[in-house]
Structure 1
């Protein structure tokens, strides 16, 4: 794949400025998801569990005690069919009791696989230590593992983690307080003073002068009447306003591992002369047998033969005029036959020479 095919395919998507809905650029402060975590037991495993880990034994005894069953202190149940797990979930904003959540279950012990297991009823806690959901259900595991008697094994994906769709039920709602805060604050996902000013201007144009004010490159404060129904209507109207996004900062993103290069439409270069060549030194070694004539009393010997050659690809110096856009930069570099790996070196050299007017980010 050429550099032009790699990058120029994005030209039709790039524009100096574009119209976007406000809801696609960020979100209102306080309207966010919350992370939940739980500690539980998965049972019903086909011999792929934690075996006899001490904390697994303690957990199983605690589960048994919920149902009035007291195991003797000197009795340790065989636990190859059980595993201690950590459960995680995201509680979306405005989630109400009775709604379902998807959960992720991952082993925290020696379990080889959770395939076929069932999670025992487990509370999910928030950062404040309060219970917000209860989780339970049969796991769906995408990975698998197999092991032979000689110790050979094969593992596909990650069999020690799985998911339970709709595996948790919300028991408590998180109060956002958006209906009675002094005002609303809209936060951009990416800091940009121009875009923040454009958001404030669009809101003022629709709802009246002085309604919104950009407080920094991220936040826009909005005056709003108190009341959940009034604010819900107001926020819906604001989210669907169209604004002209600011032209993004000039950036060149390079993934050195895969050779992927992405150049946005804001990139400019100054006057620069580029040449690209490759020097290859080749040494070929071979052996030749020297056979003396009959009755000459000579000895058969091996002779080493070497051939040394140098190949150099020559490319003319290519001049880049000042101020070209993305298409000109790509065409110029592609004209000298640079591969993605070579392009990284060329871009770094242009940056060091001060000719690349962009931020160079190498992943």
Structure 2
């Protein structure tokens, strides 16, 4: 059994060498994409970290401790840990201290001693963190364990200034900043990369055509039945069990180029910003469209009601409201059938409709069955 496994691993290693030669001598399609750009390895992912800390050294832009008592509590606790005792009941204003949250992303395979970037954001009423320094802050994962320690000088891209008369100016966001390489990794997170006899690639965009083509491309390089697509997302690949061989194997696979399947025909409408994005395969059947504009205008004017000299009444202001309704007499126009994206864009431009009107027209075309695409409103 052991000799059989060794023989299989040697055969797989030989296939990998042959595949490397093929990759270096084969000219692939310009539209092809590398596997590393369209898929991730199952079990190999980033992990978010979060922590709480204090930023000191601010130029009078720290928290107002009366409104944020947790800043004073944190500062008092820190001094006690450093051996400094503060008399009970004594209050103080910390204009140069701000309570902040610290968050970072721990990448896969990060080892103790390596550095990662951190983002610092104020959680109190600090006006600016510019010029501040983050004190030692532990960063914890979802399991409550400490995985990194953050500390350092903040880089704040925002700027704020305020005058005595109440005038103020703010550029970007001064209450948040970053510390490049501001955290030291203290603990690594295990993953399943070196475990088992298979590796699983998960496509970033599920697609049956892309999954099939990925499996076929890998099998063409390494031999049949090396890769199998289980669904529209996952492709299982037989991999060596030796860690060194598995790294070389992954280096080969992530550079395999695949022509991904094209996305479904979709029209995406952002109703908040008025943005409309039309996909490549969107088609429109011939139809007639008319879109009228109904305008309702309400005008308020103030009139003065003046009583007679001996009536004994009061002078009052009486509002008068006038309502008018106008409808634009738009003619019906023919929407020609389109077979390409260029023809669709040309037809839309000929309408000359505003984005809000175009949203209504596309929705009506979808209801009439003339729009051959999925209509997605976000």
Bin for the TM-score computed over the shorter chain: 0.7 to 0.9
Structure 2 CA distance for aligned equivalents of residues 18 and 77 of structure 1? 65
Structure 2 CA distance for aligned equivalents of residues 345 and 227 of structure 1? 59
Where does residue 61 of structure 1 map in the other structure?
76
Match of 1:33 among 39, 46, 52: 46
SS at match of 1:197: helix
Match of 1:320 among 320, 330, 336: 336
Residue 218 (structure 1) shift: 0.9
Please tell me whether residue 46 in structure 1 is matched to residue 46 in structure 2. no
Structure 2 CA distance for aligned equivalents of residues 156 and 249 of structure 1? 41
Flag structure 1 segments of 5+ consecutive residues without an equivalent: 1-16, 284-307
Match of 2:153 among 138, 145, 158: 138
Where does residue 25 of structure 2 map in the other structure?
none
Given that 1:51 and 1:82 are in contact with CA atoms closer than 8 Å, whether structure 2 keeps it comes out as no
- CA gap of 1:344–1:237, structure 2 versus 1, over 3 A, is same
* Higher RCO (C-alpha 8 Å, min separation 6): 1
SS at match of 2:120: strand
- CA gap of 1:121–1:271, structure 2 versus 1, over 3 A, is same
SS at match of 1:134: strand
Structure 2 CA distance for aligned equivalents of residues 258 and 361 of structure 1? 14
Structure 2 CA distance for aligned equivalents of residues 124 and 315 of structure 1? 64
Structure 1 CA distance for aligned equivalents of residues 326 and 377 of structure 2? 33
Structure 1 CA distance for aligned equivalents of residues 208 and 244 of structure 2? 31
- CA gap of 1:273–1:81, structure 2 versus 1, over 3 A, is same
Where does residue 91 of structure 1 map in the other structure?
106
Residue 147 (structure 1) shift: 2.5
Given that 2:294 and 2:325 are in contact with CA atoms closer than 8 Å, whether structure 1 keeps it comes out as no
Where does residue 198 of structure 1 map in the other structure?
213
Residue 27 (structure 1) shift: 0.8
Runs of 4+ in 1 over 4 A off after TM superposition: 276-283, 308-316
Given that 1:315 and 1:336 are in contact with CA atoms closer than 8 Å, whether structure 2 keeps it comes out as no
Given that 1:49 and 1:82 are in contact with CA atoms closer than 8 Å, whether structure 2 keeps it comes out as yes
Where does residue 267 of structure 1 map in the other structure?
282
Residues 47-87 of structure 1 deviation map (CA, whole Å, 9 limit, x = unaligned): 21123232212211221123221222222332111111110
Residue 356 (structure 1) shift: 0.5
TM-score, normalised on structure 1? 0.82
Where does residue 168 of structure 1 map in the other structure?
183
Alignment of 1:148-297 (within 5 A): 148-276=163-291
Given that 2:292 and 2:327 are in contact with CA atoms closer than 8 Å, whether structure 1 keeps it comes out as no
Structure 2 CA distance for aligned equivalents of residues 117 and 127 of structure 1? 28
Flag structure 2 segments of 5+ consecutive residues without an equivalent: 1-29, 299-323
Structure 1 CA distance for aligned equivalents of residues 76 and 330 of structure 2? 76
Residues 152-208 of structure 1 deviation map (CA, whole Å, 9 limit, x = unaligned): 433332221111111111122222231123421100011111111111111111111
Given that 2:288 and 2:332 are in contact with CA atoms closer than 8 Å, whether structure 1 keeps it comes out as no
- CA gap of 1:330–1:65, structure 2 versus 1, over 3 A, is same
Residue 317 (structure 1) shift: 2.2
TM-score, normalised on structure 2? 0.79
Residues 281-330 of structure 1 deviation map (CA, whole Å, 9 limit, x = unaligned): 999xxxxxxxxxxxxxxxxxxxxxxxx99895655622423x62212222
Alignment of 1:326-341 (within 5 A): 326-341=341-356
Aligned length in residues:
323
